[in-house]
Amino acid sequence: MMKLVYAREMGALDKKAAEEFYLPTAVLMENAGRAVAEAAAELLDGDVYAKSVVIFASKGNNGGDGLVAARWLSAEGARVKIFLASPVADFTGAAAMQLKICAKSGLAINLLNDETDWHVAEIAAAHADILIDALLGTGFKGELTGSYKRACELMNGARADVLAVDVPSGVEADTGLADESAVQAAATVTMQLPKVGLYLYPAAESAGKLIVAPIGMPEALTEQAEGSKYLLDSEIVRDFLPIRSGNCHKGEAGRVVVTAGSPGYTGAAALCANAGVKAGAGLVSLYTPLCSREVLAVKLTEVMVKGLIERMPGILGGGAANEVLDAANKADVLAIGPGLGTSEATGEVIMNILQGYEGTAVIDADALTALSHSVDVLPQLKCTKILTPHPGEMARLCGLTAGEVDVRRVELAEKYAKEWNCVLVLKGAPTVIGCPDGTVYVNTTGTSAMATGGCGDVLTGVIAGLCAQGVEAEAAAVCGVYLHGLAGELAAKGCIGLAAGELAALLPEARRMVENGEI
């Protein structure tokens, strides 16, 4: 599994490398710089001879990596120009040593002191075959200023591709926030372990193609990285998916009870229930307000649709909780919430169900709204909980704004999964799964074409369908999120205009691809 790290966690590994593993910074910098040079050669179709390479560097280790790359590219015949955004006197340690080596080797080193220097840099960048951004690394926070801002804007205005070292300058390595002038790279070479922020937006767009480059840290060292944050890939999902026996029947494939749908929102219930079927569950039953039963029975051929007691049309009555609990206790999993309604009476029924249920519950949409009025009960619920909020729903649960949730999604998924003792699926780009033990997975599948109504309802059904097949809650969430995103990619085919039902139809194909190792 590919571990993700925050900047401070990577810094701690660098320190351990020198102090406990006898790997000096200079050695790691040499390896990092060579990896950057190799990536530059790849962007130049494998041939750097006589190509113009312009490198913007500054005083830190990020700049030192760029200087090493300059030396390697020069040795391969490239015409290299280096522009320094920091005074030479500010260079220290391994970066200062690399600057001296470059100077001694006769590389063209230019200072950016006045307008004449900047004019030279602009001409060089305009005629470059590739630019290398070695200005600011993982320590950047806030806004670009001065020479750094100007250099980033110069690179963004050039015609050639930009290769970023570790993190594009102007991007925060932990949060994925980016200054408006942040470098827009064609590719980013990130060292040893990928940084969390590179998979979050807007940084994910600034980084371009991500290349994770080993720089010589032994596995015994990288295993000591703090935290348990992982990049979710097909290998993880393949290990979690159950193998179905040849003589399996529908009873053994698992039973799902879905409680969803009210007048005007029957589509959410239909999408959720159908996704449970397409995810592989043997039997799916939908419990919906009585007035919605007929329309849903027409929509759903493969799902058993039951009407629930109503206080008035679309609003559940008190006896509805017992009906759902009786059915859910005979099934393997309960999915509750999509389109169910937000009236006070329906909210009371939802809470009665959740407080009386002891199985596995996938809690979404209006069920999350009901919980947001009584968040304190969340850790006390006896059921195994999988919560699937989008940023707005999460904001109501934890008292933040949706914007704050969006930029803190990894941190919040980890914090509240532990605090609420649940599996927390924080939907978005990317979706992040937090687990009660502190493990966090960042998803790698999906497409912006999935920004359409109903995709979240499908995800709830997918996760429930996997739970019904005997997959543990954490694994079902992980597999469900990955397969949901992959099915979205397959259905969209690179085009905007995806309908959520089309995504559900491609779930079996997505699962087959993962199981057969095709992705």
The pLDDT of residue 244 is 86
Q: What is the CA radius of gyration of the chain?
A: 27
- What does the buried/exposed string (b/e) look like for 92-109 if buried means 16 or more CB atoms within 10 Å of the residue's CB? eebbbbbbeebeeeebbb
The pLDDT of residue 247 is 86
The pLDDT of residue 117 is 96
Instruction: Quickly name the fold that domain 20-224 has.
Output: Rossmann fold (3.40.50)
Spatial separation of the C-alpha atoms in residues 354 and 357, rounded to whole Å: 5
Could you give the maximum distance between any two Cα atoms of the chain, in Å?
85
The order of strands in the sheet holding 161-165 is 108-111, 79-84, 52-57, 130-134, 161-165, 187-191, 209-213
Spatial separation of the C-alpha atoms in residues 484 and 489, rounded to whole Å: 9
For residue 51, give the 3-state DSSP assignment. Answer: coil
Q: What's the CATH number for 234-240+248-515?
A: 3.40.1190.20
Residue type, 416: Y
CA–CA distances in Å: residue 473 to residues 179, 294, 332, 362, 464:
38, 32, 12, 9, 9
CA–CA distances in Å: residue 512 to residues 82, 279, 445, 490, 506:
50, 11, 15, 12, 10
The pLDDT of residue 252 is 82
Residue 347: Cβ-neighbour burial (10 angstroms; 0-12, 13-18, 19+): buried
Spatial separation of the C-alpha atoms in residues 2 and 5, rounded to whole Å: 10
Closest C-alpha to 445, from 375, 516, 353, 507 = 507
For residue 13, give the 3-state DSSP assignment. Answer: helix
The residue extents of the domains of the chain are 20-224, 234-240+248-515
Tens digit of pLDDT at every position of the chain (519 positions): 899 999 999 999 999 999 999 999 999 999 999 999 999 999 999 999 999 999 999 999 999 999 999 999 999 999 999 999 999 999 999 999 999 999 999 999 999 999 999 999 999 999 999 999 999 999 999 999 999 999 999 999 999 999 999 999 999 999 999 999 999 999 999 999 999 999 999 999 999 999 999 999 999 999 899 889 999 999 999 999 988 888 888 888 899 999 999 999 999 999 999 999 999 999 999 999 999 999 999 999 999 999 999 999 999 998 999 999 999 999 999 999 999 999 999 999 999 999 999 999 999 999 999 999 999 999 999 999 999 999 999 999 999 999 999 999 999 999 999 999 999 999 999 999 999 999 999 999 999 999 999 999 999 999 999 999 999 999 999 999 999 999 999 999 999 999 999 999 999 999 999 999 999
The pLDDT of residue 280 is 97
DSSP annotation of 164 reads: E
The pLDDT of residue 243 is 87
CA–CA distances in Å: residue 72 to residues 33, 41, 79, 95:
8, 10, 11, 15
Spatial separation of the C-alpha atoms in residues 82 and 217, rounded to whole Å: 28
Q: Which phi and psi angles does 171 have, rounded to 5°? A: -110, 135
Listing DSSP states for 216-262 in one string gives S--HHHHTT-SS-EEE--HHHHHHHSPPPPTT--TTTT-EEEEE---
